Structure 1
Amino acid sequence: MNINFRQLTLSAALTLVFGLPANAHNSVVGLDNSVMRKDSTVHNDSIAKRHSADKAKKDSTAAKKENAYDKLMKKGGSVRNGLFTVRHIEDKWYFEVPQRITDRMLLAVTRFTSVPQAFKELPGEEVNHSTIYFEKRDDKTLLLRAYAKTQVADDKEQMAQLVEKSTIDPIVAKFDIIGKNPKTGDMLVEVSKFFVQDNNIFGLSSSDRKVVNVTALQADRSFIDTMTVYPINVEVRTLRTYSCPDGRMPASRTGFVTVGMNTSIVLLPEKPMQPRIADNRVGFFETRQTRFSDGAPSKGYAIINRYRLEPKDPKAYKQGKLVEPKKQIVYYIDPATPKKWVPYLIAGINDWNAAFEAAGFKNAIVAREVPKGSDISPDDARYCFLRYLPSETENAYGPCIVDPRSGEIIESHICWYHNVMNLVRKWYITQCGPLDKRAQTMQLPDKLMGELIRFVSSHEVGHTLGLRHNMIASSATPVEKLRDKKWVEANGHTVSIMDYARFNYVAQPEDGVSERGLFPRINVYDKWAIKWGYQYRPEFKDPWKEAKQLRTEVSEALSHDHRLAYCGDEGRGQDPRSQTESLGDDNMKASDYGIKNLKRVIAHLEKWTAQPDGQYDDLEEMHKSVRSQFARYCLHVQRNIGGMYTNTIPGMPVTEVVPRDVQKEAIDWCARNVFEAPLWLYPTSICTKLNLDAEDEIVNRARTLVSYLLSSNMVANQYKKSQRALKPYPVQEYLTDVFHAVWKPLGKEGDKQDYYRRQLERAYVNTLNQDINADPSKDKSTLSLNAANSDARLFLLQHLDTVETFCRKQQASLSSNSLNALHYAELIHEIELIRKKYDKAE
């Protein structure tokens, strides 16, 4: 059936299509034109209302957020723009953190700015430092994390994903985002509480509080004082009050102490400097890391600490010309420094330019005074400073703070204690008084004191450049060259200022050596080390490829010049060539020369230290200094006995036992200078003035040395090393040499040397008793496991026979009732008791 729908009425069409009665169309919603118009309006109104409600809800939410920010802004307060926008509104502090700063590394350094009297730290000294970064978690939360990664992997390798998951950085703080700046989109957070709470980032950790003897932080008496804002940093000053049980501080008698702190938050480079892989044959401070790779086992390594030094003119640099760096290393002198010492401190810093020239840079480093009217502050971590501290401590130290990603030194503060002047004065008078008339008084001329300060300044700056101590450096100089005026003035008495080789105490008055040959200087090793660490090598885009080439260059340099040797034990290892305060390649010969000069000092000490008021404070201080210097000589020699050389020179054994003849020479030196009582060190006139008990000091020094030489640990060590030495020093021969150094026939009973010899011989037998009858289960602190399980006790039992034979022979040659005969009889009795105790234990 063909139907023309166009000709049908609407009701007919409905009837036909839907089977509805013709009058039913009014009940069908939306099919009648009039109904459609009406209901469409209702429908659209409904939609409009819903849209309006949704919009209102969104607008309400947005309004709430905006209102929280706007409401706060209406309260006024102060605002400073820089790295962050910092707001101070009423009594609270706020940061507006830009999105571009999130995930950027920041260096946070906190230092003391003010402390109570007798506090264990001083203004300018570091509290802590960390690398931190902000991370946006969501629209409501901003996190602060501490960078704690020491494991790395190439981003292109699969291992990188695993390393990333295994090295998540800790969240150290959470901040609620109050709102966003409508113009910049920066996130507003309140930081008040975090900066005045104690935490490992901006305050004292629990371990820090123990060090400085304070306990709980008093929140009601702790405040943020100021926040100063700069383009790449924010400086936050706080005042904190702690409970304090330490009654030694005058302020703590109230039960509380208050300290001031400054925290610098500095933006680190977005792109880290390319690290330089450490080589253990060159002495740099290091940042330890572990490298993971898809195709190789994990590898521990280190990157060196150094400033970022790049040439202004790379083309000229490549041609071998000296080029200025893009950014000079600048050290500012603390404005509080006494003015007369400033030129010498500056000179000590600028002296390092000679070393940087070896690396291809000119004017690489400079020291300056803070310009008047400048906002350069010692507390600002953007700047390197030499901080002058009002301390009685006789020291100085030079730390540096680095970017852990690259080893780049970001800033350094040399801490210079006021009384370091007293230390160098004592050193110079003690070591060079016989050689320099200016040092024959307690009041050194300012020019001499200035030069002493200059050398200490250079040493500490070396540390801040990344250099570690190199105590083996002075052993590269033959002892006799230290007395050669022409040679030592041209070459210096040590090849590195990073050694503890203070002054040339070997030179004798008749040698005529001037100050040029007495003072340490930046020398051959320092220049080579700076060249290795700071040379610009743009041809290497990968630090590992660079490291391979540099290792080859180090090997070539060491093979060519043994003076460049480095020993990283800080003078605490077994190598007698690497010792603090030692000089030359022969400890025994150098110490003999040193003692000659000490005897000259002792002969004139009362005159040099005479005080107008008739007191003896200066005499007491200087006599103690001379005795300490003598003790150093003894230790220098002692380290040769049972020692081991450590070598970094290609082709040489990594370790070597100190030769037999050198050890025998050392024992002979001890016999002449320690076991033969050094009475010259204790003149009656000085001891009377100082009420000094020389006897105890002499006896204790000798007794300690005997205990060292005869200990089970030493005997076991000597036996073990004799098995591997090219020229062995058998234990029996060693013990015989020690015996002959101590046991001498006694002469007249009233002789002072005999008195000290009897004391020494008793100490010898007592030491044998302690070692032979030691109980390993009880004497673990003095008896090593190797010694307890070795033949050391058997060797000492054999040696007891030698001692007994000598005592009986000497006893037979003396009258029975003489003091010396009684002495030997007593020792024989002691030996019998030692054997009985041993037999009983067995």
Structure 2
Amino acid sequence: MKKTLTFSLILLSGTWLFAQQRPDTSSFPMLNGRAGMPNMAAKPATGPKPYKEVITNKAITHKGLFTVHQVEDKYYFEIPDSILGREILAVTRYSKTPGGGRNYGGELVNQQTVEFDKGPEHKIFMKVITLINYADSTNEISKAVKNSNLNPIAAAFPIAAFGKDSTSSVIDVTDFFKGDNQAVSLTPAIKRRLNLSMLAADRSYIESIHTYPINTEIRTVKTYSSTPSAAGNPFGGAPSPMPQSEPLPAAMDAGAVTIELNTSMLLLPKVPMHKRLFDPRVGFFADDYTVYSDNQQKVDNQVFAVRWRLEPKPEDMEKYKRGELVEPAKQIVYYIDPATPKQWRPYLIAGVNDWQKAFEKAGFKNAIVAKEWPENDSTMSLEDARYSVIRYFASDIENAYGPNVHDPRSGEILESHIGWYHNVMKLVHDWYMIQTAAVDPKARKMKFDDSLMGELIRFVSSHEVGHTLGLRHNMGSSSKTPVELLRNKAWVEANGHTASIMDYARFNYVAQPEDNISEAGLFPRIGDYDKWAIQWGYTYTGISDPKKDELVTNKWAVDSLKNPRLWFGGEGRNVDPRAQTEDLGDDAVKASNYGIMNLKRILVQLPVWTKEEADKYQNLSDMYQQLVGQFARYMGHVTKNVGGIEETFKSVEQKGDVYAPTPKEKQKAAVAFLNAQLFQTPTWLLDKEILNKISYPTANEAIQNLQVSTLNSLLDAGRLYRLQTSRNRFGNGTYGLDEMMDDVQKGIFSEIYSNKPIDAYRRNLQKAYVAKLIELIDPTKSNAASLTPTARGFNLSIINTANTDVPSVARGELKSLLVAVNAAIPATSDKLSKYHLQDLSERIKKALDPKS
């Protein structure tokens, strides 16, 4: 189901059709104790009254999208006939939230598209609409499309009066906004998570309604009965990086939860922006709907990029066509939340303004800018859907996120509220210290100087703004930088360690102390790919037909993507080892070896660099865990090479295959790396000077857990199946399933061939290896998951490996291992090692012959 909600309108050029959503029946009259038909004996509704009897001389009136009249304790909307049938985006956000919910004022709660239409019996209907299908009204099939989709009537308002000139209708909206109406309130999912029950009408009210030329803002306070929830994220709503598992204190203390909401009703453009069809070679978010026409021989599912409407001013069009930089007709503006600490505001602003250079590639100057919020302007609201804001949250969540609200007819971004959690500073501190302290002395303390922290904030700001411009993560970008160039001071300081700030490349952990690389070569920045993606998405063609526009943008991609630094590698959720989070360079083994060299330098200094007065070794514990986590990332980067399949999207104009196996030498080197750096116990990480201060001896052992989890990943049935199918598809030059299993087994059981004692970590690992192979030969545990990328995400499929070579090879490896273990037992003098091998022998025998 699409995450983005969509709209309807019958335009002059065609008919837009919509899928039906389930209407809210909570307000239906009761019949015999059940929801049912209204009581036919009820007093019939009276018709419209004279305007002056409804909008009296006591009315306080404000004109805007809807003219809003407040008459004592009632609110009326006066809806012009010209607005009827127009799509209106209803965006509901939290204004204030109860403590403990881990959601914050300014975060998105609900988004619907509605339209107002006249109904029978002097009523105005509000319909909730979702765009699914479109057909031009000149086509006969448009009748079938129209007849196959019906939008729910979410609310019916009696017309209280007609406007003075009879071109508008006045409706009473007081009870609607005070009540619990799904289109402009909490979603059912949020209510379930919060355990909300009945709305307390006596404690719910309209705080204010303000109206402006294209939007009307409704602020409400709603109180619900609530019982404590012990699991899940009780507040739901906007992206919350860390699920909440504790009950809300308000529910525990008062049995009620009060929430303040702001609903922006924003009029969508009468004529949608020209669409730009999605291209998998350029990383834009996308929306889609199905287009029908009479001359089709197959249905056209149009997938199009999500982006801002950036167009030259009419008077500058000729300059733009000549290649001169011009200012756009409408600038993209972001405001900084006044709750933001003042010392960080300049860096957040800089992170936005850094994108100006990218927009120059699309022909626009001053296309994007950030400003401080004008705190003395009472006409502006932070929740107003006309304004894009970096919202600052007082939160211990270590994150930030960059969403956008867009028109689903065209993909036009209308606004964005970036979520900025205060504790993101801890996240960037820990990253920078663990990844660069070996080379940057400024990273060697628990509290960074404001100038360093400010630059870290600036980089995160640029990344999140990139998302709000429509850009997805490009996890493959960093793979286009050769590892040795990451140590080349002149090159990396000039070009950056990755070609995209939309990558999760973080900081240059490959650089060594002797390279003398400054922060210019350690920090990410807006790079070549980012500028190219903005150029592709925002260069104005003026072509209204998306198919004709696609011919132009396809040529741009074919011509430009000859430069490998402009490659879009996707979100990193496929099995292409070039597209990974948190990695650097074109060779994971080489980059990780450099990274480990730096981790060893940092580890011995952690007790000094983390020391603060009165600290109870919490700093040391935190940073040791971060260091082990960084080491674990290196293991993951290398592991993904095994069974890897490279995916490079192309059009027919480009040469070469889309799919190819990761080269055999890289896969073989990856297994050798894991055997040497992880499966051979990494004793350097077991620093007793640190562990004896931060870790209870019987606590879960991080290194042991990492060894086992990496081994299980390496021997995952899906990975093994890819090794087999790659050999079948690409031939004997690929890394084969049997060869990989042999290499792993020889590395993990090297002691049985050398008659050396087996330490506790290795004994644990060897048992885990045998357990995994036993699992692989069990036909009841033979399913493997596979992700297939699509324009809008990924499809999950399950592969049954029971009838493949996977269990056959696993059984063969167990048999050969049994022979080797039995041969090693007599020559093993270490007592625990001998017991261990005897135990393994019995386990394998039982697995191969359960009846024995």
Calculate the TM-score normalised by the size of structure 2: 0.87
The answer (yes or no) to whether the contact 1:149–1:169 under 8 Å persists in 2 is no
The answer (yes or no) to whether the contact 1:214–1:246 under 8 Å persists in 2 is no
The residue aligned with 2:262 is 262
The answer (yes or no) to whether the contact 1:504–1:517 under 8 Å persists in 2 is yes
Matched, 1:450 2:454: yes
Which letter does structure 1 place at the counterpart of 2:567?
A: A
Deviations 1:272-309 (A, max 9, x none): 11111111111111111112121221021212111111
The residue aligned with 1:769 is 774
Deviations 1:352-381 (A, max 9, x none): 001000000000001001224213221111
Matched, 1:601 2:602: yes
Judged with a 3 Å threshold, the aligned counterparts in structure 2 of structure 1 residues 183 and 716 are, in CA distance, closer, same or farther, namely closer
Deviations 1:769-817 (A, max 9, x none): 222244359x8999965311223222122112221222123223234x8
The residue aligned with 1:494 is 498
The answer (yes or no) to whether the contact 2:200–2:222 under 8 Å persists in 1 is yes
Match of 1:754 among 759, 764, 767: 759
The residue aligned with 1:17 is none
1:336-415 alignment, distance < 5 Å: 336-374=339-377, 375-415=379-419
The answer (yes or no) to whether the contact 2:486–2:497 under 8 Å persists in 1 is yes
1:454-473 alignment, distance < 5 Å: 454-473=458-477
How big is the shift at 1:563?
1.8
Judged with a 3 Å threshold, the aligned counterparts in structure 2 of structure 1 residues 456 and 177 are, in CA distance, closer, same or farther, namely same
Looking at structure 2, the residues matched to 683 and 773 of structure 1 have their Cα atoms a distance apart, in angstroms, of: 39
Deviations 1:66-95 (A, max 9, x none): 745432334724222221111222322111
Matched, 1:733 2:732: no
The residue aligned with 2:524 is 520
Which letter does structure 2 place at the counterpart of 1:585?
A: D
The answer (yes or no) to whether the contact 1:709–1:738 under 8 Å persists in 2 is no
Deviations 1:653-690 (A, max 9, x none): 11112222211111111101111112212310111110
Choose 347-356 or 208-217, whichever is displaced more: 208-217
The answer (yes or no) to whether the contact 1:198–1:205 under 8 Å persists in 2 is no
The answer (yes or no) to whether the contact 1:477–1:585 under 8 Å persists in 2 is yes
Choose 146-155 or 261-270, whichever is displaced more: 146-155
Looking at structure 2, the residues matched to 152 and 183 of structure 1 have their Cα atoms a distance apart, in angstroms, of: 35
Looking at structure 2, the residues matched to 780 and 275 of structure 1 have their Cα atoms a distance apart, in angstroms, of: 39
Matched, 1:562 2:564: yes
Matched, 1:673 2:686: no
**Which blocks of at least 5 consecutive residues in structure 2 are unaligned?**
1-45, 230-246, 787-796
Deviations 1:235-276 (A, max 9, x none): 100001112222632211211110100011112222211111
1:213-228 alignment, distance < 5 Å: 213-228=195-210
How big is the shift at 1:426?
0.5
- The SS at the match of 2:558 is helix
The residue aligned with 1:833 is 846
How big is the shift at 1:829?
2.3
The residue aligned with 2:815 is 801
Matched, 1:145 2:149: no
Looking at structure 2, the residues matched to 709 and 367 of structure 1 have their Cα atoms a distance apart, in angstroms, of: 46
Looking at structure 2, the residues matched to 423 and 72 of structure 1 have their Cα atoms a distance apart, in angstroms, of: 57
Looking at structure 1, the residues matched to 771 and 781 of structure 2 have their Cα atoms a distance apart, in angstroms, of: 18
Which letter does structure 2 place at the counterpart of 1:832?
A: K
- The SS at the match of 2:301 is strand
The residue aligned with 2:295 is 295
The residue aligned with 2:835 is 822
Which letter does structure 1 place at the counterpart of 2:552?
A: Q
Looking at structure 1, the residues matched to 674 and 755 of structure 2 have their Cα atoms a distance apart, in angstroms, of: 24
Looking at structure 1, the residues matched to 825 and 489 of structure 2 have their Cα atoms a distance apart, in angstroms, of: 53
Choose 344-353 or 225-234, whichever is displaced more: 225-234
The residue aligned with 2:53 is 71
Deviations 1:453-473 (A, max 9, x none): 000000000010111111111
Which letter does structure 2 place at the counterpart of 1:636?
A: H
Matched, 1:623 2:615: no
Which letter does structure 1 place at the counterpart of 2:707?
A: A
Which letter does structure 2 place at the counterpart of 1:250?
A: P
The residue aligned with 1:504 is 508
The answer (yes or no) to whether the contact 2:87–2:115 under 8 Å persists in 1 is yes
How big is the shift at 1:500?
0.6
Looking at structure 2, the residues matched to 326 and 303 of structure 1 have their Cα atoms a distance apart, in angstroms, of: 22
Match of 1:742 among 748, 751, 755: 748
Which letter does structure 2 place at the counterpart of 1:592?
A: N
Looking at structure 2, the residues matched to 700 and 575 of structure 1 have their Cα atoms a distance apart, in angstroms, of: 25
The residue aligned with 2:539 is 535
The answer (yes or no) to whether the contact 2:439–2:517 under 8 Å persists in 1 is yes
Judged with a 3 Å threshold, the aligned counterparts in structure 2 of structure 1 residues 652 and 199 are, in CA distance, closer, same or farther, namely farther
Looking at structure 2, the residues matched to 137 and 278 of structure 1 have their Cα atoms a distance apart, in angstroms, of: 39
Choose 589-598 or 688-697, whichever is displaced more: 688-697
Which letter does structure 1 place at the counterpart of 2:78?
A: E
Looking at structure 1, the residues matched to 716 and 826 of structure 2 have their Cα atoms a distance apart, in angstroms, of: 30
Looking at structure 2, the residues matched to 781 and 592 of structure 1 have their Cα atoms a distance apart, in angstroms, of: 30
Judged with a 3 Å threshold, the aligned counterparts in structure 2 of structure 1 residues 330 and 215 are, in CA distance, closer, same or farther, namely same
Which letter does structure 1 place at the counterpart of 2:182?
A: N
Over the matched positions of the two proteins, sequence identity in percent amounts to 44
How big is the shift at 1:406?
1.4
The answer (yes or no) to whether the contact 2:68–2:75 under 8 Å persists in 1 is yes
The answer (yes or no) to whether the contact 2:635–2:710 under 8 Å persists in 1 is no
Judged with a 3 Å threshold, the aligned counterparts in structure 2 of structure 1 residues 770 and 139 are, in CA distance, closer, same or farther, namely closer
- The SS at the match of 1:131 is strand
Looking at structure 2, the residues matched to 145 and 409 of structure 1 have their Cα atoms a distance apart, in angstroms, of: 23
Match of 2:432 among 409, 428, 432: 428
The answer (yes or no) to whether the contact 1:335–1:370 under 8 Å persists in 2 is yes
- The SS at the match of 2:130 is coil
How big is the shift at 1:139?
6.5
The residue aligned with 2:103 is 121
Matched, 1:715 2:759: no
Looking at structure 1, the residues matched to 86 and 832 of structure 2 have their Cα atoms a distance apart, in angstroms, of: 82
- The SS at the match of 2:586 is coil
- The SS at the match of 1:506 is coil
**Which blocks of at least 5 consecutive residues in structure 1 are unaligned?**
1-63
How big is the shift at 1:165?
2.6
The answer (yes or no) to whether the contact 1:149–1:167 under 8 Å persists in 2 is no
Which letter does structure 1 place at the counterpart of 2:823?
A: K
Deviations 1:336-361 (A, max 9, x none): 11000000000000000010000000
Q: Which structure is higher in RCO with an 8 Å CA cutoff and minimum separation 6?
A: 2
The answer (yes or no) to whether the contact 1:354–1:527 under 8 Å persists in 2 is yes
- The SS at the match of 2:134 is strand
Looking at structure 1, the residues matched to 185 and 526 of structure 2 have their Cα atoms a distance apart, in angstroms, of: 38
Matched, 1:691 2:695: yes
The residue aligned with 2:249 is 250
The residue aligned with 1:640 is 641
The answer (yes or no) to whether the contact 2:337–2:372 under 8 Å persists in 1 is yes
Looking at structure 1, the residues matched to 48 and 176 of structure 2 have their Cα atoms a distance apart, in angstroms, of: 25
Judged with a 3 Å threshold, the aligned counterparts in structure 2 of structure 1 residues 774 and 138 are, in CA distance, closer, same or farther, namely closer
1:107-186 alignment, distance < 5 Å: 107-138=89-120, 140-183=122-165, 185-186=167-168
Judged with a 3 Å threshold, the aligned counterparts in structure 2 of structure 1 residues 712 and 328 are, in CA distance, closer, same or farther, namely closer
- The SS at the match of 2:738 is helix
Which letter does structure 2 place at the counterpart of 1:803?
A: L
Choose 547-556 or 586-595, whichever is displaced more: 547-556
The residue aligned with 2:803 is 789
The residue aligned with 2:82 is 100
Max Rg structure = 1
The residue aligned with 1:330 is 333
Deviations 1:171-214 (A, max 9, x none): 22111111112246320111122213333321012112123443
The answer (yes or no) to whether the contact 1:144–1:173 under 8 Å persists in 2 is yes
Looking at structure 2, the residues matched to 207 and 231 of structure 1 have their Cα atoms a distance apart, in angstroms, of: 33
Larger fraction in helix: 1
